[in-house]
Amino acid sequence: MVPSTTVSVAVNIDGTLYGAKDARISVFDHGYLFGEGVYEVVRTYGTRIFLYPEHMRRLRASADRIALTCPVDDEVMLGRIRETLAAAALDGDAYVRILLTRGVGEIVYDPSACPSPSVVVIVKPHADPPASALADGVRLALADIVRNHPGSVDPAIKSNNLLNNALAMQQAYREGAFEALMKNHRGELCECAQSNIFFVRNGVLLTPPASAGLLVGITRAFVLDLAAGIGVPVEECVLREDDLASVDEAFITSTTREIVPVVTIGSHTIGGGRPGPVTQSLIAAFTAAIPNHLS
Ligand code: PDD
């Protein structure tokens, strides 16, 4: 159990609470052995979870794609998240990582070797992007590594196989960039290592389509709806590095980052090198809409 003095990080493994130091999973879990698992990252505003049904729907869709079934329903999972949040006793917003792995079994690929999937919930403090990122915009590395081919490990599966993402981020760290923008096997811009990418050109909001091979972000969908709601035309379209010269604004979206303006991508300066007005309007619309989507 979590000692009462422990704060900040708490973990729930298959329904039992642990402190950070005691949270252990077997080395025979196929999540560890083979990366066989899926996950979600949700966040709270205060104690309430943002877009919970949408995240659970995607968790189940990801699990389906690897022939894995989540053994708990949304209500039970919500109960576990709430218990874990209570154990972490955070002062502010929480980062919640939900992991579902194949479970423990013999070292063989046969799924029937693992009778029960493991369900883990990790709660830790949420960290907002630095204020300077929002005020001044960030730089993205243009990753050399190609995003996974959808016919291989499909990026639409929010999989624990994150080596592709980790390698892209290694380049970002080397270059001192905030994120890494990846291209797909056709050389089209598709998504970042941990977020989706958007552009604004001539007042139109542009983002690569799902067919580019990307994780269909919950925040991406939320922002597309917000844009429609404030009268910004939206187009999902193929974008290439050449397009970076003609876009006026860029930003990234994710659960933990909401919307972060982008002012440099690789060697390209975006727009005037300052966060643009459409990005700012969407940030304001996002903030205003949060209270209507909390569980
Ligand atoms: N990352 N693309 C990738 C590759 C991602 O890992 C993420 C999310 C997104 C944005 O998805 P969403 O809006 O649903 O968070 C896009 C999470 C936050 C993470 O792994 O920490």
What distance in angstroms lies between residue 179's CA and the mean position of ligand 1's atoms? 12
pLDDT in tens, 44-62: 999 999 999 999 999 999 9
Q: Is the shortest distance between the CB of 220 and ligand 1 below 6 Å? A: yes
Which residue has a Cα nearest atom 11 of ligand 1? 217
Mean pLDDT for each consecutive 10-residue tract of the chain (295 residues)?
A: 63 97 96 97 96 98 97 97 96 97 97 96 97 97 98 97 97 98 98 98 98 98 97 98 97 98 97 95 97 93
Give the number of other Cβ atoms within 10 Å of residue 176's Cβ. Answer: 8
Residue 271 is predicted with a pLDDT of: 86
* Residues whose CB falls within 8 Å of the CB of residue 215, separated by 6 or more in sequence, listed in order: 155, 156, 158, 191, 196
Give the number of other Cβ atoms within 10 Å of residue 11's Cβ. Answer: 24
Half-sphere exposure at residue 12, Cβ-oriented, CA atoms within 13 angstroms: 23
Which of these is catalytic: 21, 124, 158, 183? 158
Quote the pTM value.
Answer: 0.95
pLDDT in tens, 75-129: 999 999 999 999 999 999 999 999 999 999 999 999 999 999 999 999 999 999 9
Known catalytic membership, residue 183: no
Residue 243 is predicted with a pLDDT of: 97
Q: Which of 255, 259, 290 maximizes ligand 1 atoms within 8 Å of its Cβ, making it the mutation to test the pocket?
A: 255
